[in-house]
Structure 1
Amino acid sequence: MEDNILLGGALQEHLSSMGWDVIWVTGYRLGADILCRMSFDIICLDRRLPDGDGFDLLRRGLARCPTIIMSAFDQLSDRLEAKRLGAADYLIKPFRLEKLTHRIDLLAGLEPSRVPALNPSRL
């Protein structure tokens, strides 16, 4: 989930080109609805969305898979809270797409920067 159109579009294009199935949503409510209806292998979650707090999705137990928080907030307290809530990783914006790809590969159990042969996951 990413509300920034430029970043969200770049993430979707990059991860799709790496062989991942990507569902991109820009808001909390739609994201929560989709998380209630579908399962995912990995979630990339913005900390602040226009209609809610990404951390609330973790608090509510809706992120039932490894979750990478993406945030412009570089507060230690936010990073610690993300870990306490079960997030697998926390990336500070701006970040390089290769860094996100590497973290996703690690969480998916792939060799870093290896393109999946088939579309094994949704993000």
Structure 2
Amino acid sequence: MLNVLLVEDDLDLASTLIDYLSLEDIECDHASNGVAGLNLMNENQYDVLLLDLNLPRLDGLSVCERLRQGGDNTPILMLTARDQLDDKIEGFQAGTDDYLVKPFEMQELVVRVVALSRRRSGQVTRLSCGDLVMDLDGRTVQRAGEHVHLSPTGWKLLEALLRASPAVVSREALARAVWGDDQPDSNSLKVHLFNLRKAVDRDGLPAMIQTRSGQGVAIVAAS
């Protein structure tokens, strides 16, 4: 079952959407303003965010921008009555993944939600876990405020781990993230993971990169 968050101040529309989505086995939490929606996003994990553009307290564009700046890569479907190209461009620049103009057909909403749920958004510019921060635009990594030097392969590995964090990433998925279908022998991945650990978990800092036997590798906030 998919789990989505709907941020919509029109309570009648919200109730209709929630009821329809439940018939499609999509569980839907609801917030009626931008601040409440942002709080729920920070507290829970959702497959997709359905975000109205015109919201009280904090508008949809601002919610979107704050989530992306904080490294949240949940796919966002913007719901809006605005159908002008400039409005859509502004939304995409803020970090939304898709647009649906009101009024819309319920079946189209479901199709788009399911499609978005199959991928994490590529709109984020910052990934983080605990005191580890990766700036995708600036191509920099910091741990506890200090710069972390990474090889190009180390960068790809860390990005894959951070995008999935705190979930475990299989070794096969990590190898695909770095080398695609043209994968080297398994020792290459071991060597690069060893070097990544040395770079991230350096100088006696608590270990963040953890190997889970029979599952893969995860990066978690140091306790």
Q: What's the TM-score bracket when you normalise by the shorter of the two chains?
A: 0.7 to 0.9
Q: Which has the higher strand share?
A: 2
In structure 2, what is the equivalent of residue 48 of structure 1?
A: 54
- CA deviation after TM superposition for structure 1 residue 108, in Å: 2.3
Instruction: For structure 1, list consecutive stretches of 5 or more residues without a partner in the other structure.
Output: 110-123
Give the 3-state SS of the residue equivalent to 1:90 in structure 2: strand
Q: How far apart are the structure 1 equivalents of 2:73 and 2:45?
A: 8
Of 9, 14, 21, the residue aligned with 2:15 is 9
Q: How far apart are the structure 2 equivalents of 1:39 and 1:90?
A: 21
- CA deviation after TM superposition for structure 1 residue 34, in Å: 0.9
In structure 1, what is the equivalent of residue 102 of structure 2?
A: 93
In structure 2, what is the equivalent of residue 84 of structure 1?
A: 93
RMSD, aligned α-carbons: 1.3
TM-score normalized by the length of structure 1: 0.82
Q: How far apart are the structure 2 equivalents of 1:102 and 1:55?
A: 23
TM-score normalized by the length of structure 2: 0.47
Q: Taking every aligned residue pair, what percent have the same amino acid on both sides?
A: 29
- CA deviation after TM superposition for structure 1 residue 86, in Å: 2.1
User: Which structure is higher in RCO with an 8 Å CA cutoff and minimum separation 6?
Assistant: 1
Of 26, 31, 34, the residue aligned with 2:40 is 34
1:74 has 2:83 as partner: yes
1:23 has 2:29 as partner: yes
Q: How far apart are the structure 1 equivalents of 2:111 and 2:47?
A: 15
Give the 3-state SS of the residue equivalent to 1:48 in structure 2: coil
1:88 corresponds to which letter in structure 2? Answer: D
Q: How far apart are the structure 1 equivalents of 2:12 and 2:83?
A: 21
Instruction: For structure 2, list consecutive stretches of 5 or more residues without a partner in the other structure.
Output: 1-6, 119-223
1:55 corresponds to which letter in structure 2? Answer: L
Give the 3-state SS of the residue equivalent to 1:43 in structure 2: strand
